[in-house]
Structure 1
Amino acid sequence: MLLRLPTSVSEAQECMTEGAVPIGGATLVWATWQRDGFPDLAMSLRDLPEANAVGREVLGAAVVLNRIDDRAPEVLRRAAATVGTGAVRRTATVGGNLVGSTLRCLLPAALVLDARAVILEPDGVYETDLAEVLAKRHLLLSLRWHAPIASNYHKAAGEAGGPPPLVVAAALHAADDGRTRLRVAVRDDDEVFSGSTVRHADTEDDLRTLRGGSFARLPAAAWELVGRQVTDLLARPTGG
C-alpha cells in the first residue's frame, strides 16, 4: 500500500482523483484491511494544515482526539476525552469518529454547536450540514461553528460489548435578535436526537418545549438526565 501525505488542498484533490482511500487514524479500518486486503493507494490528511486546526470555532478532521484541548468548547473537549482508551485517543481522528465510526461520540457535541462541515472533493472545497456528510460519507476537512456562551457534556457509564452509552450534550448560543438559544442532543443506544429552543424565563418551560419535539420518544431515564444537564448548564451561563 502506498500512503500519500498531501500538504495542500490541491495535492489532496489530486490524490482523490487518483483513487486514494482516506485512512484517518486507521483505528477503524486497519483490522478490515488485514482481513480483506490493503488498498493500493491511501491518503492521510495529517500533514494538511486545514485539517489540523484547533480553535474556538474550528476543528480539523485530522486532529487526533487527545489534541482537543481548552481552545475548543467544553462540550467537544469532554466528548473527545470519553472516547475509547488513551491509546485510541492518541490515534483516532475527528473525521474518523464522525464519518467512519458507527458510535460517532463527537456527533452530539457537534450538533449542539450547530457545526457546519467543510468537505473536500476532487473539484473543490464546500461547506454543508452534518446530515449530508453522514449520509453521503464525504471526506471531512474540518468543522466550523460560532462559539457558544456555555456548553456541557455527559456520557453515562457503559459496559464493554454492551449498547452505546447514553450521551447528553447541551450548549447555549447568542441569537442574532439578542435572545439566547438552547441546543440539546442525545445519543440513546444507536439513535441520536437533537432539538433547540429560544430560552424562556423558566428552565421548566425550556424543558417542556424540548420534550414536545423530537425528544418525545426518549425513555424517562434518558429525559431525566437531559433535565439535569440543562439545569446545570443554565446555572452557569458563561464559560464556553
Structure 2
Amino acid sequence: MLLRLPASVPEAQECMAAGAVPVGGATLVWAVWQRDGFPEQAMSLRNLPEANAVAHDGLGAAVVLNRVDDRVPEVLRRAAATVGTGAVRRTATVGGNLVGSTLRCLLPAALVLDARATVLERDRTHESPLAEVVAKQPLLLGIRWREPVASSYRKLPAEPGGPPPLVVAAAVHDEGGGRRHLRVAVRDGYDVLSDDVTCDGDTGQAVRTMNEGTVGTLHPEARDVVTQQVTDLLTRAADI
C-alpha cells in the first residue's frame, strides 16, 4: 500500500482523483484492511495545514484527539478527553471520530456548538451541515463553530463491551440584545438527538421548555441526567 501525504488542498484533490482512500488515524480502518485487504493507495491529511488547525473557533480533521486542548470550548475538550484510552487518543483524529466512527463521541459537542463542516471534494471545498456529513461520510477538512458563553459535557460510566454510555452536551450562546440560546445534544445508545431553546435567565422555564421537546422523549433516567446537566450549566452561565 502506498501512503500519500499531501501538503496542500490541490495535492489532496489529486490524491482523491487517483483513488487514494482516506486513512485518518487508522484506528478504525486498520482491522478492516487486515481482514479484507489493503487498498493500493491511502491518504493521510496529517501534513495538510488546513486539516491540522487548533483554534478557539475551529478544529482540523487530522488533529489527533490528545491535541484538543483549552484553546477550544470546554464541551469539545472534555468530549475528546473521554474517547478510548490514551493510546487511542494519540492516534484517533477529529475527522475519523465524526465521520468514520459509529459512536461519534464528538458529535454531540459539535452540535451544541452549532458547528459546520468544511468538506473536501475533487474540484472544490465547501461548507456542509454536520448531519449531512454524518450521513454521506465525505472527506472532512475540519469544523468551525460559534464560540459559546459556556458549555459542558458528561459521559456516564459504561460496562466494557456493553451498550454505548449516555452522553450529554450543552452550550449557551449569546444571540445579542441580551438574548441567549441553549443548545443540547444527547447520545442515547447509537442515536444522537438535539434541541435548542431560548434561555432568558429563568432556568426553570428553560428546563421545562427543553423537556417538552426532543429531550422529553428520552427515558426518565436519561432525562434526569440531562436536566441536572443543563441546570448546572445555566446556573454557571448566569454569572458570565
**TM bin (shorter chain):** over 0.9
The 2-side partners of 1:55 and 1:205 are apart by 34
Query: How high is the sequence identity, in percent, across the aligned residues?
Result: 67
Post-superposition, which runs of at least 4 consecutive aligned residues in structure 1 deviate over 6 A? Answer: none
Alpha-carbon distance change, 44 to 239 in structure 1, aligned in 2, over 3 angstroms: farther
The 2-side partners of 1:11 and 1:239 are apart by 48
The 2-side partners of 1:228 and 1:214 are apart by 16
The 2-side partners of 1:151 and 1:157 are apart by 20
Q: Which residue of 2 aligns with 1:7?
A: 7
Does the 8 A contact of 1:150 with 1:238 survive in 2?
no
Does the 8 A contact of 1:24 with 1:95 survive in 2?
yes
Any idea what SS the aligned residue of 1:143 has?
A: strand
Q: Which residue of 2 aligns with 1:25?
A: 25
Residue identity matched to 1:20? A
Any idea what SS the aligned residue of 1:225 has?
A: helix
Q: Which residue of 2 aligns with 1:125?
A: 125
Q: Which residue of 2 aligns with 1:146?
A: 146
The 1-side partners of 2:238 and 2:87 are apart by 33
Q: Which residue of 1 aligns with 2:168?
A: 168
The 2-side partners of 1:62 and 1:15 are apart by 16
The 2-side partners of 1:5 and 1:37 are apart by 21
Residue identity matched to 2:78? R
**Structure 1: gaps spanning 5 or more residues:** none
Alpha-carbon distance change, 233 to 44 in structure 1, aligned in 2, over 3 angstroms: same
1:200-215 correspondence runs (5 A):
200-215=200-215
Deviation per CA, 1:7-57: give whole Å up to 9, x if none.
Answer: 000000100111110000000000010010000000000000000011110
Alpha-carbon distance change, 238 to 60 in structure 1, aligned in 2, over 3 angstroms: farther
Q: Which residue of 2 aligns with 1:104?
A: 104
Deviation per CA, 1:91-142: give whole Å up to 9, x if none.
Answer: 0000000000000000000000000000000010000100110111111100
Alpha-carbon distance change, 152 to 64 in structure 1, aligned in 2, over 3 angstroms: same
Name the TM-score, length of structure 1 as normaliser. 0.97
The 1-side partners of 2:24 and 2:33 are apart by 14
Please say if 1:89 is aligned against 2:89. Answer: yes
CA RMSD of aligned residues (A): 1.3
Structure 1 residue 200 displacement after superposition: 3.3
Structure 1 residue 177 displacement after superposition: 4.3
Deviation per CA, 1:47-91: give whole Å up to 9, x if none.
Answer: 000000111100000000000000010000100000000000000
The 1-side partners of 2:231 and 2:121 are apart by 42
Number of aligned residue pairs: give it.
240
The 2-side partners of 1:199 and 1:137 are apart by 34
The 2-side partners of 1:239 and 1:145 are apart by 23
Does the 8 A contact of 1:65 with 1:92 survive in 2?
yes
Structure 1 residue 204 displacement after superposition: 1.7
Structure 1 residue 176 displacement after superposition: 4.0
Q: Which residue of 1 aligns with 2:179?
A: 179
The 2-side partners of 1:150 and 1:238 are apart by 10
Structure 1 residue 201 displacement after superposition: 3.3
The 2-side partners of 1:117 and 1:33 are apart by 27
Deviation per CA, 1:141-183: give whole Å up to 9, x if none.
Answer: 0000111010000000011110000000000101144401000
Residue identity matched to 2:163? P
Structure 1 residue 190 displacement after superposition: 1.2
Any idea what SS the aligned residue of 2:99 has?
A: helix
